[in-house]
Amino acid sequence: MTASDAYKGYRGAALDTLKNFQAQVWNDVEITTSHGKYTGIILPRSETADPLHIVIKLRSGYNVGIAAASIEGITTTGRKEAHYKIPEKEFPFDPRKPRVKLFGTGGTIASRLDYRTGAVIPAFSPGELYGSVPELADICNLETEKLYGVFSENMGPEQWRGTAEAIGREVQKGVQGIVIGHGTDTMHHTAAILSFMVQNSPVPIVMVGSQRSSDRPSSDAALNLMHSVKAAAESDIAEVMVCMFGPTSDMYGLLHRGTRVRKMHSSYRSTFRTIGDIPLAMVSRETITPLRQDYRHRRSDKDVVVNTAFEEKVAIVYYYPNMRPDIIDSLIDNGYRGIVIAGTGLGHVNKPLYPALKRAKEKNIAVYMTVQTLWGYVQMYVYDTGRDMMELGVVPTANMLPEVAYMKLGWALGQTSDPAEVNRIMLTPVNGEITDREPSNGYLIFQGGIPEVEEFISRYRK
């Protein structure tokens, strides 16, 4: 054990006290203080915690912090070091079952405690997954590959490209389906960019994560994983999809099209929703039930097209009243090549921004309009202000979601700097990011309190 491991996370007065009494992390100790006695094992301390306390695990399993300043003596009686390891079992092979590849990028599909930060860190291997979710072996032969170990907010162009290329390789190798474990915060961003970077896939590409980490008994991770592996192994839908809980209950997952899905609640299990349309399918442990037929069907060829172009100098601007033109100006001055605006209502910004938008046009910067209402189309003809903005070169993007437009603009500008070509790419839908029509059930946010809604809620587990 290195010196830093011996006092893991301790600093200041707490570290001095440990050294003073020759006590180390994982020692079984009796601590005498000015106000009483404590018996237990010294635990590592989170680096973000204060330097004033020593943490011990009592015999009862509880942890308590003891003020270092009050400690009069520490007697070491033994040592017990934790060996946190998910039981690993070899994933069984069954020649009759489809081959599914699971890529890990991070997230909490499987995780363990991190003493450095006190938070959970992901753990991931076929053996570990089989050890914690043995049901997966009933569905497929699973291979795993850890691409990255980052939290979802740290995913960026490098990871998107790498993931797209890895998918391409696996399709060439002939897997029957691909699952991508991903943190949920930016899962819909990655789903969008993969929809553009990986086209014409013959097999399902399913993104999955969890809203409750797998170190909790009520975690949605295991069921999400089963649903996503089933969708990858068996479904006929060869698209980039997000597979997460339909209701908050442990009942079924939904397969959302990668270009129309969005995380809509900071913590609910059923946080992912298809916006402005309906999901592709429902998936339970037993069955996959398509909700529509106009999806790309599974094929037996390997004709996948991977295009990982991406221009990083693209920004998304969430418009607010009283926005000043300097926001746009600073993007122009910093060499940005594309801007997606999430405008109010049908796609509006205030008049003071016009000169800045005009400057952007003159500098050949691509500016696209989306709506911050998320549901509905941009329509810039209804009011004069919209027409004025189009004059200034702002291009409406129909019902493309702001985050999707951001991803697509980066992808388009990565391929060309010709404004007409960028325009063509932006406005030609790849897979549902712009739809011709919004079905009447594409916008359903039930309002609680209304008698008929309450009746529905009381009848169906949500």
Partner 1 sequence: MTPSEFRPFADMTPDDYAAVGFKSGLEIHQQLLTERKLFCRCPAGRYSDHYHAEILRHMRPTLSELGEYDGTALMEFKTKKEIVYRINRDTVCTYEMDDTPPFMIDEQALDIALGVALLYRCAMVDELHIARKQYLDGSIPTGFQRTTIVGVDGSVPYKDRSIHIIQLGLEEDACREVSDTGHQRVYLTDRLGMPLIETVTAPDMRTPSEVADVAQLLRRIVRSTGRVRTGIGAAREDVNVSVTGGTRIEIKGVPRIPLIPLLTYNEAMRQWNLLRLRDELHRRGITPESFQSRTENVTRLLKKTRFTPVRNAIASGMIVNAVRLHGFHGLLRWTTQTDTFFSREISDRVRVIACLTTLPNIAHSDSPSETLSSSEWQAVKKALGASEDDTVILVWGLDTDAAMGAGEIIIRAKEATIGVPSETRQALRDGTNGFERILPGPDRMYPDTDLPPKRITADRLERIRTTLPSPVWERERWYRELQLPPDVIQPLASSVFAGLFEQAVTEWKIDSTLAAVALIQWRKDLRRSGLDVSVLNADTMGMLLHAGHGQPGVRDGLRQAMRNVASTGSTNAIALPPPASDEEIGQAVSEARKQLAGLTVRKPEKSAEIRMGLAMKPLRGRASGARVAELVGFRKEGAA
Question: Can you tell me whether residue 376 is helix, strand or coil?
Answer: coil
Looking only at residues 103 through 132 of this chain, which bind partner 1 when binding is defined by CB under 8 A?
112-113, 118-120, 132
Number of H helices and E strands in the chain, helices first, is: 12, 23
- Catalytic one of 263, 277, 370, 435: 263
Q: How far is the CB of 373 from partner 1 (least distance, A)?
A: 24
8 binds partner 1 (CB under 8 A): no
Among 88, 165, 215, 438, binds partner 1 (CB under 8 A): 215
Q: Which is nearer to partner 1, 305 or 450 (CB)?
A: 450
**Active-site residue, from 16, 28, 114, 185:** 185
Indicate whether 454 belongs to the interface with partner 1 (CB under 8 A): yes
User: Residue 61 interacts with partner 1 (CB under 8 A)?
Assistant: yes
Binding partner 1 by CB under 8 A: which of 163, 219, 308, 435? 219
> Cβ of residue 359: shortest distance to partner 1, in angstroms?
44
Phi (first) and psi of residue 396, to 5 degrees: -70, 145
User: Quick check: 461 binds partner 1 (CB under 8 A)?
Assistant: yes
Of the pair 62, 90, the CB lying nearest partner 1 is at 62
Is 108 assigned a catalytic role? yes
Least distance to partner 1, CB of residue 58, Å: 7
- To partner 1, the closest distance from the beta carbon of 48 in angstroms equals 8
Q: Give the residue with the Cβ less far from partner 1, 161 or 212.
A: 212
Which tokens go with 191? 């789903």
Q: Which of 17, 105, 108, 144 is catalytic?
A: 108
Q: 316 vs 45, 336, 337, 363, 380, CA distance in Å?
A: 39, 11, 12, 18, 19
Residue 90 and residue 328: Cα distance in Å, rounded?
Answer: 55
The distance between the two most distant Cα atoms of the chain, rounded to a whole number of Å, is 81
Cβ proximity to partner 1, 99 vs 269, nearer residue = 269
Residue 147 Cα distances to 101, 105, 158, 162, 187, angstroms = 12, 5, 11, 8, 15
Exposure string for 286-296, b = 16+ CB within 10 A, e = fewer: eebebeeeebb
Beta strand ranges found along 296-399 (DSSP E): 305-306, 314-318, 338-343, 366-371, 394-396
335 near partner 1, rule: CB under 8 A: no
Q: Where are the beta strands (DSSP E) in 253-337?
A: 253-257, 261-263, 272-274, 281-283, 288-290, 305-306, 314-318
| CB 46 to partner 1: min, Å | 8
Nearest to 210 by CA among 268, 258, 149, 160: 268
CB of 371 to partner 1, least distance (A): 28
- 184 catalytic? Reply is yes
Restricting to residues 244-263, which ones interact with partner 1 according to CB under 8 A?
A: 247-251
Q: Which stretch binds partner 1 (CB under 8 A): 180-188, 211-219, 226-234, 302-310?
A: 211-219
Contact 193, 210 (CB under 8 A): no
| 15 contacts partner 1 (rule: CB under 8 A) | no
294 among known catalytic residues: no
Annotated active-site residue 358? The verdict is no
Bridge partner list, 39: 30
**Does 223 interact with partner 1 (rule: CB under 8 A)?**
yes
| Angle at the Cα of 144 from the Cα atoms of 138 and 148, rounded to 5 degrees | 140
> How many of the other CB atoms lie within 10 Å of CB of 238?
20
Pick from 153, 220, 221, 142: nearest CA to 181: 221
Per-residue mark of binding to partner 1, 256-295 (x: CB under 8 A):
---------x-xxx--------------------------
What residues make contact with partner 1 under the rule CB under 8 A?
33, 35-38, 46, 49-50, 52-53, 55, 57-67, 70, 80, 82-87, 112-113, 118-120, 132, 211-219, 222-223, 247-251, 265, 267-269, 448, 454, 457-458, 461-462
Question: Which positions are annotated as active-site residues?
Answer: 108, 184-185, 263
